[in-house]
């Protein structure tokens, strides 16, 4: 959603700040036109005395105070206190703060106010101005009178239309203020020029100032209402500051809504939630912007508007963790209050184009299972319907969950009409068992086929029509006068893809192969972040190499036949990529997939495209499809859906929709009621898509292969009225089935912004109810609801067949196409022995796991480095004292000076100019039996002696007799009289924290014997670490005796030394680089040169 209302306080602050900037930047600079901005915002938690002390003007001026909660006509409602003292304001606020009011159908509490200086002026000094967005630019109104009694400003204000590539001129501004007193014209002209510039630069979509007062050469904005294009925040953050987008009056902003908005902001997907009635019994969790509106419509159509608790949607392939968080938020709200009739949860959606249904359902399943006790407690019934990639696995997960939840759970797939579960959930229709299709083959082919292309697939749950439809046909003479347009897409159309999109490209190639195209529709990809290369994809069973270019110029030069660009660039770069594309005359059509491009930029794209004759589909779309010829990106879904909807060959029905998600549902509805789709386009959910409904409907209508047209419109905008006029005038004479979604908006007590940016009515004319009525009166075939859309399409189609307007055609059998390995594995159709096995970590899910422990819990529980070692080395969580011991071992073994062989090698290699890894490796390679090996050796020798029952004296004597050194005993420098503090630290820690230390005690007894001979034959750091480590793993209770022995034998002790010493080696490397030491050459006088004469002595 893009156009969002802001508070008056924020609107005035933003404009005042920007006006000052514009006045300074004007050449030459001009004096400030507007009065100094002074305003105070008061909320329930505002400390008024403190706030007043920070705004000294408030103590010296008369004041005005009013609610700032998007309430219209506050003056007429008695919600403005004028010409008041500070004491009056405080008293008025104490009365009004928290007061519950009903304004129209909306009931809410007053909680936010604005306090400003009161301006004494005459009625004749008040003016009105407003600016609002249009498809081609903006319209500015000005009226020489203002105030609460201005009346119907649309009919009497002066107005100018300004093209998006232009700006308000001085001549236009002068025209607007023609009826203003002469002494105020000059300042108003200057002000309007700056106001329009600010409006555009700050990405306002609507701005109304009434009244506007000119006093002593300064302009005062007394009342302001405004909307900002929220998608432009990345461009305007500095100028906007911390602007707030409050909910409409009558709907309090909940913490859960804010949480979902935060999830949405951090995600590339779309996550929306609006709470309509927290106590309602009907809750929805719907995938897709268009589908979410339709489900709400259906609930309201069936009499559930007062019980509908929420509106929301998730779309754009959210991850498992995102859907988990989203679902958990809804479930937490739903289970806060009980309802005497129990509650209903509708988990619905259309047939997805690219979202992995199983992945999103895994998150929902996790949330449902977590809330299973509360679901039982609140008597919740759950109804599920979904289709799209991997939907079989997703629905299986839901079916398997049912018995575990203990509540009724009904699961349906695309074989059921999208909204049929709503009637079942509300008790308006008998619950029919769903038929869950499971894939069983790794090659994909049609599930069923009819020899006659005119025969539609019967739909068991299609809602019957209330009355008979009579279709008026057309004559050959009518069709003869229509010139056939050049097709937008053919079976030779080739496209260049902007962005690294191998999955979308593979989907296009699979469609091409099924459609028996001679050449792939993907000519190349453009990816600026890599060098030129080729991407391997598949053409049926064979490999095909698709070139990838770093820039557009090279791609278009090498592929002059490509006339379509599919733009997968992000919302921040999609505009620039599209503008650059239109520099190449070979391009006839551009599809812009990104959602969230600022409206002003989209309007510039539309202007440029019309100038150059380029068709733009989008933004915020999945694209379009011409069965048997060409498909854009992910349109139509995966291969199984292309086959189910028979998109590999053309039918007779063309459709146009705003919603990309609903385009796939239309494919399904049309094939189940007619012979299939001829062409379908989703123009995009933004307020101003690149092409309109009528652009495509006229193109379809004039194509003799199209026999009927389907329009799926939407609340918001007025494009459908162009279609109405064409029907009335006879320009359109082929049957048009039309339905505008969003009829539920009329039933809500407060304004709701639906999932699409353009799905919001700014007037009665823009409501879905008004548009459906107008279409019906103009001659379109309009169903009673979306539930009967399929039946209406089928009725019109069957009459055309009966009147021989659609001749019978033999069905086409498409080729069989192999399933991708990854997808077959996802569907559990294949198995393959793994080349590797691992048990320590797993990065495949939403969160990295260390031995089954989520990385977030690693930090939440603060297990430290020792805890991580326990998970990754031993596959279990060791006690805290054990983890601390591992950390102590790393600390004491981190370094032992530059003279030891490992550090020496590291230093020499670093000074030779080698990199960190090479230098570190050089040092680590010296670790072995002579350097570092004493740890393993000491553990082995002491353990064998202790386990065999040798007393310490016997062990010492045995080693002497075998002429073996006791590993872990002896030190060159340290002795009994000069103890090694590292040994003391480890020994004391083990004695204090370990359950018992039998092997350490044994080693200390050995030390008493060896030091009796020489004081430096002490238990050294290797010995104390080795024996303590053995005591730890044998006695901490986390290992069996066999496991403990195995971990010692496979080198875990040596791992401690390697890891610890790595810290020191890196330190030596960095030290040498920091000291800028040159190449090392060993001094010759430190080398004994054994010449032959010396050796022969």
**Residues carrying an active site annotation:** 756
| CA pair distance 890, 806, nearest whole angstrom | 81
Find out whether 371 and 334 touch, Cβ atoms under 8 Å: no
CA-nearest of 72, 115, 61, 117 to 91 is: 115
| Alpha carbon distances (Å) from 316 to 264, 267, 274, 594, 996 | 11, 9, 18, 10, 57
Q: Is the peptide bond between 623 and the residue preceding it cis, with omega within 30 degrees of 0? A: no
Q: What is the DSSP letter of 251?
A: S
Measured in degrees and rounded to the nearest 5, phi and psi for residue 547 equal: -70, 145
Helix count and strand count (H, E) for the chain: 39, 37
| CA pair distance 625, 680, nearest whole angstrom | 5
| CA pair distance 625, 591, nearest whole angstrom | 11
DSSP string covering 164-179: TTS---HHHHHHHTTT
* Angle CA 286–289–291, to nearest 5: 55
CA-nearest of 589, 701, 614 to 656 is: 701
| CA pair distance 175, 159, nearest whole angstrom | 9
CA-nearest of 98, 115, 16 to 63 is: 115
| CA pair distance 170, 189, nearest whole angstrom | 7
| CA pair distance 1080, 1083, nearest whole angstrom | 9
CA-nearest of 402, 398, 382, 301 to 335 is: 382
Count of CB atoms within 10 A of residue 763's CB? 9
**Token pair belonging to 316:** 């754009």
| Residues shown for the chain | 1097
CA atoms within 13 A on the CB side of 464: 4
| CA pair distance 806, 808, nearest whole angstrom | 7
Query: Which residues, at least 6 apart from 590, have a Cβ–Cβ distance to it below 8 Å?
Result: 564, 565, 566, 567, 578, 581, 582, 609, 614, 615, 616, 617, 618, 690
| CA pair distance 767, 769, nearest whole angstrom | 5
H-type alpha helices, 766-900: 768-778, 789-802, 821-826, 855-860, 864-874, 880-892
**Token pair belonging to 461:** 């749950």
Measured in degrees and rounded to the nearest 5, phi and psi for residue 411 equal: -120, 130
DSSP string covering 729-782: HTS--S-EEEEEE-GGGGG-SS----SSTT---SSGGGSHHHHHHHHHHHT-B-
Find out whether 378 and 335 touch, Cβ atoms under 8 Å: yes
CA-nearest of 252, 288, 248 to 745 is: 248
* Angle CA 52–57–62, to nearest 5: 100
Query: Which residues, at least 6 apart from 1095, have a Cβ–Cβ distance to it below 8 Å?
Result: none
Find out whether 667 and 647 touch, Cβ atoms under 8 Å: yes
CA-nearest of 6, 19, 14 to 239 is: 14
Query: Which residues, at least 6 apart from 92, have a Cβ–Cβ distance to it below 8 Å?
Result: 65, 81, 84
């Amino acid at each position: 959603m893009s156009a969002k209302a802001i508070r008056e306080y924020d609107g005035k602050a933003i404009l005042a700040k920007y006006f000052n900037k514009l006045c300074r930047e004007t050449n030459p600079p001009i004096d400030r036109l507007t009065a100094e901005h002074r305003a105070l915002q008061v909320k329930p938690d505002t400390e008024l005395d403190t706030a007043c002390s920070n705004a000294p003007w408030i103590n010296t001026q008369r004041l005005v105070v009013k609610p700032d909660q998007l309430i219209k006509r506050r003056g007429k409602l008695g919600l403005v206190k004028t010409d008041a003292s500070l004491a009056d304001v405080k008293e008025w606020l104490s009365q009004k703060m928290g007061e519950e009011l009903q304004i129209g159908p909306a009931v809410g509490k007053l909680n936010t106010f604005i306090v400003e200086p009161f301006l004494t002026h005459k009625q004749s000094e008040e003016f009105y101005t407003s600016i609002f967005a249009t498809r081609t630019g903006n319209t500015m109104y000005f009226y020489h009178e203002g105030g609460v009694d201005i009346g119907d400003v649309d009919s009497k204000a002066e107005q100018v239309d300004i093209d998006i590539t232009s700006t308000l001129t001085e001549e236009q501004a002068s025209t607007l203020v023609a009826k203003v007193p002469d002494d105020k014209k000059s300042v108003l002209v200057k002000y309007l020029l700056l106001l329009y510039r600010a409006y555009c630069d700050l990405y306002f979509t609507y701005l109304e100032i009434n009244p506007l007062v000119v006093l002593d050469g300064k302009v005062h904005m007394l009342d302001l209402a405004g909307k900002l294009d929220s998608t432009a925040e990345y461009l305007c953050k500095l100028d906007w500051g911390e602007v707030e987008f409050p909910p409409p009056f009558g709907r309090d902003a909940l913490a859960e809504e804010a949480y979902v908005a935060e999830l949405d902001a951090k995600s590339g997907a779309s996550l929306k939630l609006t709470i309509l009635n927290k106590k309602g019994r009907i809750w929805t969790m719907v995938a897709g912007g268009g589908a979410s509106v339709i489900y709400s419509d259906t609930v309201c159509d069936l009499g559930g508007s007062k019980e509908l608790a929420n509106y929301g949607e998730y779309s754009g392939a959210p991850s498992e963790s995102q859907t988990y968080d989203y679902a958990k938020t809804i479930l937490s709200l739903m289970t806060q209050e009980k309802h005497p009739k129990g509650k209903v949860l509708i988990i619905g959606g259309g047939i997805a184009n690219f979202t992995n249904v199983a992945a999103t359902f895994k998150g929902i399943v996790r949330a449902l299972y977590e809330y299973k006790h509360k679901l039982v407690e609140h008597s919740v019934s759950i109804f599920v319907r979904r289709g799209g990639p991997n939907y079989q696995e997703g629905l299986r997960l839901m079916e398997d969950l049912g018995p575990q939840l203990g509540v009724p759970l009904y699961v349906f797939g695309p074989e059921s009409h999208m909204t049929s579960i709503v009637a079942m959930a509300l008790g308006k229709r008998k619950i029919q068992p769903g038929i869950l299709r499971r894939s069983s083959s790794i090659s994909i082919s049609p599930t069923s086929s009819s020899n006659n292309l005119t025969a539609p697939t019967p739909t068991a749950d299609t809602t019957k029509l209330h009355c008979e439809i009579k279709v008026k046909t057309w004559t050959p003479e009518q069709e003869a006068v229509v010139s056939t347009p050049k097709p937008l897409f053919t079976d030779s159309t080739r496209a260049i893809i902007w962005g690294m999109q191998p999955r979308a490209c593979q989907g296009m190639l699979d469609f091409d192969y099924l459609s028996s195209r001679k050449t792939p529709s993907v000519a190349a990809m453009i990816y600026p972040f890599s060098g030129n290369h080729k991407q391997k994809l598949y053409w049926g069973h064979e490999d095909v190499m698709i070139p990838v270019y770093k820039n557009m110029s090279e791609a278009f030069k090498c592929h002059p036949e490509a006339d379509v660009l599919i733009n997968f660039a992000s919302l921040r770069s999609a505009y620039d990529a599209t503008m650059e594309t239109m520099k190449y005359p070979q391009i006839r059509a551009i599809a812009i997939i990104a959602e969230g491009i600022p409206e002003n930029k989209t309007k510039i794209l539309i202007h440029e495209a019309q100038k150059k004759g380029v068709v733009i589909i989008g933004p915020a779309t999945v694209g379009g499809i011409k069965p048997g010829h060409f498909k854009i990106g992910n349109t139509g879904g995966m291969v199984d859906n292309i086959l189910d909807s028979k998109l590999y060959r053309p039918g007779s029905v063309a459709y146009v929709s705003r919603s990309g998600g609903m385009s796939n549902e239309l494919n399904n509805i049309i094939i189940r009621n007619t012979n299939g789709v001829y062409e379908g386009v989703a123009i995009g959910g933004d307020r101003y898509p690149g092409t309109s409904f009528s652009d495509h409907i006229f193109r379809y209508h004039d194509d003799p292969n199209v026999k009927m047209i389907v329009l799926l419109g939407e609340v918001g905008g007025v494009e459908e009225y162009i279609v109405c006029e064409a029907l009335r005038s006879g320009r359109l004479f082929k049957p048009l089935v039309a339905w505008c979604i969003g009829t539920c908006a009329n039933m809500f007590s407060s304004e709701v912004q639906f999932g699409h940016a353009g799905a919001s009515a700014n007037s009665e004319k823009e409501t879905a109810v008004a548009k459906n009525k107008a279409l019906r009166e103009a001659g379109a075939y309009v169903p009673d609801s979306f539930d009967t859309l399929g039946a209406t399409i089928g009725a019109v189609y069957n009459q055309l067949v009966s009147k021989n307007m659609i001749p019978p055609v033999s069905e086409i059998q498409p080729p069989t196409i192999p399933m991708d390995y990854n997808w077959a594995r996802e569907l559990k159709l294949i198995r393959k022995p793994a080349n590797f096995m691992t048990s320590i970590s797993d990065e495949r899910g939403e969160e990295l796991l260390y031995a089954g422990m989520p990385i977030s819990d690693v930090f939440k529980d603060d297990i430290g480095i020792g805890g991580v070692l326990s998970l990754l080395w031993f596959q279990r969580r060791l006690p805290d004292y054990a983890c601390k011991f591992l950390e102590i071992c790393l600390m004491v073994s981190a370094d032992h000076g530059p003279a030891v062989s490992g550090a020496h090698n590291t230093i020499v290699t670093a000074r030779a100019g080698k990199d960190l890894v090479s230098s570190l490796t050089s040092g680590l390679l010296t670790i072995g039996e002579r350097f570092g090996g004493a740890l393993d050796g000491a553990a082995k020798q002491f353990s064998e002696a202790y386990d065999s029952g040798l007393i310490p004296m016997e062990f010492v004597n045995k080693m002497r007799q075998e002429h073996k050194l006791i590993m872990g005993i002896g030190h060159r420098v340290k002795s009994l009289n000069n103890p090694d503090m590292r040994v003391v630290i480890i020994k004391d820690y083990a004695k204090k924290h370990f359950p018992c230390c039998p092997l350490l005690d044994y080693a200390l007894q050995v030390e008493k014997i060896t030091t009796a001979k020489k004081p430096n034959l002490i238990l050294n750091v290797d010995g104390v670490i080795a024996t303590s480590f053995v005591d730890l793993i044998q006695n901490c209770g986390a290992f069996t005796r066999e496991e403990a022995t195995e971990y010692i034998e496979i080198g875990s002790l040596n791992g401690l030394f390697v890891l610890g010493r790595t810290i020191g080696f890196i330190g030596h490397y960095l030290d040498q680089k920091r000291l800028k030491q040159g190449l090392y050459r060993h001094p010759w006088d430190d080398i004994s040169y054994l010449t032959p004469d010396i050796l022969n002595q």
